[in-house]
Amino acid sequence: MDRENRIQMAVFDWAGTTVDYGSSAPSAVFERIFEKAGIHFTREEINRPMGMEKKAHIRELLSAESGRRQWEEQYGRTWTEEDVERLYEDFEAELFQVVAEYSVPIPGVPETVKRLREQGLKIGSTTGYTSQMMEQVIPKAAELGYEADCVVTPDVTGIGRPTPFMLFECMRRLQVYPPRAVVKVGDTVVDMQEGRNAGAWSIGILTGSNLLGLTQKEYGDLSPEELKTRKEEARKRYLEVGADLVIDSISELPAAIEELNRRMEKEGDRK
């Protein structure tokens, strides 16, 4: 099988995919800064735009019906870009204080990445965090067993997900081409859209994901029936936005990549 018909690189998200089970750090900080501003969002509302660049995430929350209504009730006016900037500054300051604490790899990540490297894959990463935040996250995750070959942040490309430019930058840095030789692996809607918009493959992960929206304790406390229902809902959402495959946990990724390789080989045979 030629290299163009094999996956050459996996590009991972961070929080909720490789570290920080359930994407707890950004969710908790978003909740905190909006509560301080007199605005209450449910965890589901906060998680919906997760994976976007963080200012864009704030705009999404304020643009939603609940956000617009609460802001006008609290301040007697519509929100402005100055409000977004102020909220973002609060978000960045608070997250910067705690982000390293939430950099523990999700179970199965170090072992899975090791297997992928042994199979010859390069490991890229894109994130909604800034370069400054990642200066804290990367060393802590590496110390605990997970490291990517390159990490691209929205401040590097000037725009974040769901655009494909961070993924393209990973391809440029690691010299991987064409896009079909790349798989984006993530835990949010915008991760799947990023992969699709780049012309790459997209794989959604359920366990530990932002889309499932559960902490490790909540996951363990759910009945098997409720957990199955929640996972099926998340699976459907991934597929609706263009995921090529959905896997239960990151440990299933090497087998999923082999499935993509088989698909590409069949497509190549038909040409």
Q: What is the pLDDT of residues 157-190, one digit of tens each?
A: 999 999 999 999 999 999 999 999 999 999 999 9
More confident residue, 5 or 113: 113
Residue 60 maps to which CATH number? 1.10.150.240
pLDDT at residue 3, rounded to an integer: 63
Answer yes or no: do 18 and 62 share one domain.
no
pLDDT at residue 271, rounded to an integer: 39
Q: How confident is the model at residue 67 (pLDDT cuts 50, 70, 90)?
A: very high
Answer yes or no: do 18 and 152 share one domain.
yes
Domain limits at 60?
A: 24-101
Say how many C-beta atoms besides its own lie within 10 A of residue 41's C-beta: 20
Answer yes or no: do 15 and 96 share one domain.
no
CA nearest neighbour of 28 among 20, 206, 201: 20
Position 1 pLDDT exceeds 60: no
Say how many C-beta atoms besides its own lie within 10 A of residue 248's C-beta: 11
Answer yes or no: do 123 and 95 share one domain.
no
The residue from 101, 116, 142 where one domain ends is 101
Catalogue the active-site residues.
13, 54
The residue from 101, 125, 154 where one domain ends is 101
Answer yes or no: do 122 and 239 share one domain.
yes
pLDDT at residue 52, rounded to an integer: 86
Instruction: Give pLDDT tens digits for 101-159.
Output: 889 999 999 999 999 999 999 999 999 999 998 999 999 999 999 999 999 999 999 99
Mean pLDDT in the chain?
93
Answer yes or no: do 15 and 60 share one domain.
no
The residue from 101, 127, 148 where one domain ends is 101
> pTM of the prediction?
0.87
More confident residue, 24 or 2: 24
Answer yes or no: do 75 and 45 share one domain.
yes
pLDDT at residue 51, rounded to an integer: 82
pLDDT at residue 4, rounded to an integer: 67
Answer yes or no: do 78 and 149 share one domain.
no
d(Cα 10, Cα 1) in Å, to the nearest integer? 18
Q: How many domains does the chain have?
A: 2
Answer yes or no: do 56 and 179 share one domain.
no
Answer yes or no: do 64 and 155 share one domain.
no
Position 9 pLDDT exceeds 50: yes
Answer yes or no: do 30 and 149 share one domain.
no
Answer yes or no: do 110 and 239 share one domain.
yes
Instruction: Give pLDDT tens digits for 19-62.
Output: 999 888 888 899 999 999 999 999 889 988 888 889 999 999 99
Residue 18 maps to which CATH number? 3.40.50.1000
Position 269 pLDDT exceeds 60: no
pLDDT at residue 38, rounded to an integer: 97
Distances 232 to 60, 188, 237 between C-alpha atoms, Å: 26, 15, 9
pLDDT at residue 228, rounded to an integer: 95
